[in-house]
Amino acid sequence: MNSLTAFWAVMAEGLPALSRFALNSVGQGRRHAARVDGIDRQALEIALARQRPGLMLDGVKALHRHDGTSGRIYAAVDHHGASGQPPLPQDLFIKQLPIHRAGQLMACTLGIGLNEARIYDQITPSLPLRTPRCYGCWYDERDGDFLIVLEVLPKDSTRFPDILSSCSLEEARHVVTGLAHMHAAFWQHPRFNGDLSWVLPQGTGSRGRLMQAVPYFGIGAALKKFPDMFAPEVHRLGHRIRHSMEAIYREWRRGPLTLVHGDTHLGNMYFDPATAAAGLLDWQVAHRGQGMRDIAYFLITSLDTEFRRAHQVELLTLYHQTLAAQLPQAPTRTELERQYRFHSIYAWLGAVITRAAQTMQSDRITEVSIARVNAALLEMQVEDLLPH
């Protein structure tokens, strides 16, 4: 991809996205009167009533709020009218469009909130791994607006790590086996040609094509703004990746494909301290892809480099064996290792684009991430995979 191709991708797909954002702004204005403590009360009531017909809200109070790529709100909810239904906790975790306009523009343009709402609505109930219980979703496919109601995970029996805290080998094993079970369950699933046809391969569809242009600009910005974070050989390789993204996306889309989370760093996970069992949060960029996407992103971004080097053979073997036990035609170990090398590029892109944005993670987290992904990129001899 060159600058002209990237520009026209943004123009072709970005203008319709801006129209969705404008439509959303109008809709947000109409519903503004129904907001309580910044919560879209009308959407919340609709979402909760889908599982509990007749439910009516009596009161909503925001206890804590944080805005990022979505608005995250801990809220206390009073209600009536859902007799005979399973009890609804008073304290809930709500995700919706962020308050700030830049966040709304990103969410509506890329459709990440809408994507997550549909994942919770249609997929997580059947996943063979842990996710927060969803009490209801509301979303508007026209403008990308959404609201998701989730359980509040208990702090006294849940560990919430981040990239800086790393994880134990036992926890890493649970992550790898959990992802393998999920990948096997959705491996070339016929639902992708039916009710899940909206779960697209990366870089396809209008929003996907727009996202395909993001690395071109993100790599250029990061290499220019933060040259000291990249050794000369990584800097040169980064420019080659930047101009090879079309070929890289084609490789990532090679089948067989399955459901992938797409953002499997430790900050999107939680663990049971007693059993080391892992769960996944934040499904905004879930899509149809190669399962190795999730494994590579987890191993490279979330594990200290020396820890990864010491255990990645064991963890890759565990993934392969878990897949093979469930799939008659699982990929060979050689093919998985080739995919692992290709998806080290995705791990590098994720860290580099986050650093370029400067608003999505703390400086310390992005510095640690960049060091890990730079090391992996060179180890995987990625240069040999790129077109000449």
7, pLDDT greater than 60:
no
Query: Residues 242-258: what's their mean pLDDT?
Result: 95
pLDDT score for 49: 92
Please tell me the distance from the alpha carbon of residue 56 to that of residue 79, in angstroms, as a whole number. Answer: 5
Element spanning 120, H or E: helix 112-122
Q: Which two tokens stand for residue 370?
A: 């960049």
Of 32-36, 196-200, 234-238, 353-357, the least confident: 32-36
Please, what is the average pLDDT of the chain? Answer: 89
The percent of residues in the chain predicted with pLDDT above 70, rounded, is: 89
pLDDT in tens, 214-226: 888 889 999 999 9
Q: For residue 370, which of 242, 223, 216 has the smallest C-alpha distance?
A: 223
Residue 364 burial class via C-beta count within 10 angstroms: exposed 0-12, middle 13-18, buried 19 and up: exposed
Of 17-26, 30-39, 112-121, 231-240, the least confident: 17-26
pLDDT in tens, 80-104: 887 667 789 999 999 999 888 777 8
The percent of residues in the chain predicted with pLDDT above 90, rounded, is: 69
342, pLDDT greater than 80:
yes
Please tell me the distance from the alpha carbon of residue 109 to that of residue 182, in angstroms, as a whole number. Answer: 28
Inter-residue contact 85 to 63 (CB < 8 Å): no
Q: How far apart are the first and last CA of the chain?
A: 13
Kindly indicate whether the domain formed by 157-385 is annotated with CATH number 3.90.1200.10: yes
pLDDT score for 22: 53
Inter-residue contact 292 to 343 (CB < 8 Å): yes
Specify which residues 96 forms β-bridges with.
Answer: 71, 147
φ, ψ dihedrals at 287, nearest 5°: -160, -175
Domain spans of the chain, in order of start:
3-150, 157-385
Counting DSSP H helices and E strands in the chain, the numbers are 12, 11
Residue 275 burial class via C-beta count within 10 angstroms: exposed 0-12, middle 13-18, buried 19 and up: exposed
Please tell me the distance from the alpha carbon of residue 145 to that of residue 113, in angstroms, as a whole number. Answer: 7
35, pLDDT greater than 70:
no
Which of residues 217 and 348 earns the better pLDDT score? 348
Whole-model pTM?
Answer: 0.90
pLDDT score for 172: 98
The three-state secondary structure class of 65 is: strand
**CA distances, 59 to each of 41, 79, 383 (Å):** 9, 7, 58
Specify which residues 64 forms β-bridges with.
Answer: 74
10, pLDDT greater than 80:
no
Query: Residues 146-150: what's their mean pLDDT?
Result: 97
pLDDT score for 99: 84
